[in-house]
Amino acid sequence: MNSLTSSNLGYPRIGEKREWKKTLEAFWKGKITEASFEKVMKSYRLQYLNNQIERNLDYIPVGDFSLYDHVLDTAVMFGLVPDRFQYQGGKVPLSTYFAMARGTDNAHACEMTKWFDTNYHYIVPELKGLTPKLVENKPLQAFLEAKTELNVIGKPVILGPFTFLKLSKGFDQSEFADRLNQLASVYIQLLQELKEAGATFVQIDEPSLVTDISEEEMSLFTSVYHFITDQVPDLDIIVQTYFEAVTHYDAVVNLPVKGIGLDFVAGFETNFAAITKHGFPKDKILAAGIIDGRNIWKSNLEEKLTFIKELSTFVDVERLLIQPSSSLLHVPVSLTHETTLDRTLKNALAFSHEKLEEINMLKKAITVPSAEHLRAIQAHTQSFTELTNSNWRKKVERNPLATERAATFNERHKLQKKKWKLPLLPTTTIGSFPQTSEIRQARARWRRNELSNEAYDALIKAEIKKWIEIQEKIGLDVFVHGEFERNDMVEFFGEKLAGFAFSKNGWVQSYGSRCVKPPIIFGNVLFVEPMTVNETLYAQSLTEKPVKGMLTGPVTILNWSFVRDDIPKKEVAFQIAEALLKEVKLLESAGITMIQVDEPALREGLPLKKTQHNEYLTWAVEAFRMSTSQIDHSTQIHTHMCYCDFNDIIDSIRALDADVISIETSRSHAELISAFEHRQYDKGIGLGVYDIHSPRIPKEEEMVTIIQRALTVLPPSLFWVNPDCGLKTRTEQETVAALSNMVQSAKKARTMVAITNS
């Protein structure tokens, strides 16, 4: 490296217009052959590489592309396929790969959970009874493809052995060191093959280094990397971290590798303070993540330029590599197609392509410090000051809101039990029902003013009526209206509140082919008009059964949006909570007194450092309670959460003071139930009894077993039976079949409880 160089950590998979998603789903539906599917996916990979070549990066990642998930890719690369998928060895077939992700009629899918503190979900590797073998060198294939097709010597990207093992399950922690050494051996083979093929520079991602790993774990990490580099001495390895500052700075920067990648956005203060205090090794490259890889605001390049110059007092420019702070997997691809955004707002944004251009601008300003390049930096900075100085961002005064219900849970529970007279183990769903292509097309036509408000409203009402009748037929105890008017559980509310804006193609991957388009919170959030009352009231008019009002909670709206970065996140959460409280009160006054305020993203916002947990959880709980406390004792508040390590936040979940909480747990039900054996939960709770992310129809016997297992640690009087998440992505046939089995399983479980208590 003769001067400042540039790099990228990873590129979005889904494409500028979600073409990757559409191809994947077409393959699943049998509309294209496997050969055609692989050919089209190859064309996407090459196009994504060309997009990065055009932005003059020195080091372009290869191997970051995936057909579903990069953690799953790593597992199948090493032949780590659970026995239930009947894998026979060798290269893992594509059918088995997708079976692990989505399940089959005969084998449930592997667990899926959040990737660190992001909204991306990865497939959890299962290692029980398995020994890793290199059955397919995926990074090598990606490297050779780029070399052959585009004459590019790419930078292979590999999920590191320590992090891979940390993210896995199916082994005892006492086995960790032995398991890590097993993995190290196959990583050595993988790296040796890359070296023989001509690779010179490899990025090994080890984000676990920013979590609270112990000194013993860090020592083990170091010894494993000594083992690896001793066996592959001539390959330049960068150990890459992101999402936070590293925990053991001295040990990390002294690893026996060529370079260390540090996050100078999320981990800025701590990482830079460590370099200032301890310096940086003279023989290593510092891969400095200085452009935010997780949010969509332009960077202040004048400040970034100053920071690079400060870094260069500790690390020679020749050993500096500038890059995004994380993979660009977490942000949309390009602003090119955003033709409807307000000009002031658009001038303040940077998606993936624009972030890579920011990297290039900084590189030019350092390596060719001309007046032209400096003027470009200044113009770039000035382009978003208009938003900073706008009325949208003027400070607003907030009135104090109550954060406690006036009655205890036990007092409320008695009133609510008398009010609804629900059976033991009441059945319900999480909120959404399948959205057909006809509904989505009608919404698109309505947005384009090709369908009148009256016609669109009639269509939505017809769908609500249809599904109220289906719920009656299935025999559910508590109904929902189905959310057919909603495009996304966060975007829907953002569109009805002040302070939000929406991109046209600002999609990001959540899991598999599931993409979301996060709203952009650019200004102060304010309530404008009723958001859910009409549809909920209509649904309630069609049935004697209670219909839940369905809202998305303040912390989830915050965490699943691209959030303004000029004020603390908690202030934005409190603004959202105040707006939602007005909607809760409107529902209650209209007679809807069972209201679900979903917080599936509460856990994912938890900081990666335990020292920061209490501060976050305190304001997150406060925001939820702000939106749900000023109501009548008999109004029942439900909430829903996606899977998390329940032990981490059980006290905070209890502090939410929701009357009923449902938790997405079906892929890892046993682990969560075991948590209740050690930590009591004394409010209403529903543990999802089947996995909605899989097209597989669960059998009654399976759900009865799950219910029985849960009732060994939870009281039947407080237990609800429900799927583990919303049903928007499932078909009508799948939904009706699965819910029918669920209702029958609840009835059988009621009988068993009655016999046991008789």
Backbone angles phi, psi at 560, to 5 degrees: -105, 20
For residue 547 the two structure tokens come to 């219909």
Q: What angle do CA 168, 169, 170 make, to 5 degrees?
A: 140
8 Å CB contact between 202 and 236: yes
430 is an annotated ligand-binding site residue: yes
Strands 61-62 and 112-114: unpaired
640 is an annotated ligand-binding site residue: yes
506 is an annotated ligand-binding site residue: no
Pairwise CA distance, residues 290 & 292, whole Å: 6
For residue 705, which amino acid is it?
T
31 is an annotated ligand-binding site residue: no
Pairwise CA distance, residues 359 & 377, whole Å: 11
Measured between alpha carbons, how far is residue 550 from residues 264, 346, 583, 593, 628 in Å? Answer: 39, 32, 10, 11, 13
Instruction: Tell me the CB-side half-sphere exposure of residue 62, using CA atoms within 13 A.
Output: 33
111 is an annotated ligand-binding site residue: no
* Cβ atoms within 10 Å of 129's Cβ, excluding its own: 9
Catalytic, 121? Answer: no
414 is an annotated ligand-binding site residue: no
609 is an annotated ligand-binding site residue: no
Backbone angles phi, psi at 672, to 5 degrees: -70, -40
Locate tokens 């990069």: which residue? 70
725 is an annotated ligand-binding site residue: yes
136 is an annotated ligand-binding site residue: no
In DSSP terms, which residues pair with 639 in a beta bridge?
Answer: 661
Pairwise CA distance, residues 95 & 103, whole Å: 10
8 Å CB contact between 742 and 427: yes
19 is an annotated ligand-binding site residue: yes
* Cβ atoms within 10 Å of 285's Cβ, excluding its own: 24
Dihedral (CA of 494, 497, 499, 505) sign:
positive
* Active-site residue, from 248, 481, 638, 693: 693
Taking every pair of C-alpha atoms in the chain, what is the biggest distance, in angstroms?
87
119 is an annotated ligand-binding site residue: yes
170 is an annotated ligand-binding site residue: no
Locate tokens 């996304």: which residue? 488
431 is an annotated ligand-binding site residue: yes
Question: DSSP letter string over 677-731?
Answer: TTS---SEEEE--S-TTS-PPPPHHHHHHHHHHHTTTS-GGGEEB--SS--TTS-
For residue 107 the two structure tokens come to 């084998």
709 is an annotated ligand-binding site residue: no
Cα dihedral value 185, 188, 192, 195, nearest 10: 170
List all residues 6 or more positions away from 160 whose beta carbon is below 8 Å from its beta carbon.
Answer: 204, 205, 206, 208, 239
* Strand order from edge to edge, sheet including 285-291: 5-6, 320-324, 285-291, 259-263, 236-240, 201-205, 155-159, 61-62
Pairwise CA distance, residues 596 & 393, whole Å: 31
357 is an annotated ligand-binding site residue: no
Residue whose C-alpha is closest to residue 667's, from 692, 685, 686, 700: 692
First to last CA, the chain: 78
Instruction: Tell me the CB-side half-sphere exposure of residue 632, using CA atoms within 13 A.
Output: 16
8 Å CB contact between 573 and 623: yes
Question: DSSP letter string over 259-324?
Answer: EEEEESSTTHHHHHHHHHHH---TTSEEEEEEE-SSS-BPP-HHHHHHHHHHHTTTS-GGGEEEEE
598 is an annotated ligand-binding site residue: yes
For residue 270 the two structure tokens come to 């701590």
Pairwise CA distance, residues 548 & 636, whole Å: 9
18 is an annotated ligand-binding site residue: yes
Residues annotated within the binding site for L-homocysteine are 430-432, 483, 598
Residues annotated within the binding site for Zn(2+) are 640, 642, 664, 725
Residues annotated within the binding site for 5-methyltetrahydropteroyltri-L-glutamate are 18-21, 114, 119, 514-515, 560, 604
Residues annotated within the binding site for L-methionine are 430-432, 483, 598
| Catalytically annotated residues | 693
Residues annotated within the binding site are 18-21, 114, 119, 430-432, 483, 514-515, 560, 598, 604, 640, 642, 664, 725
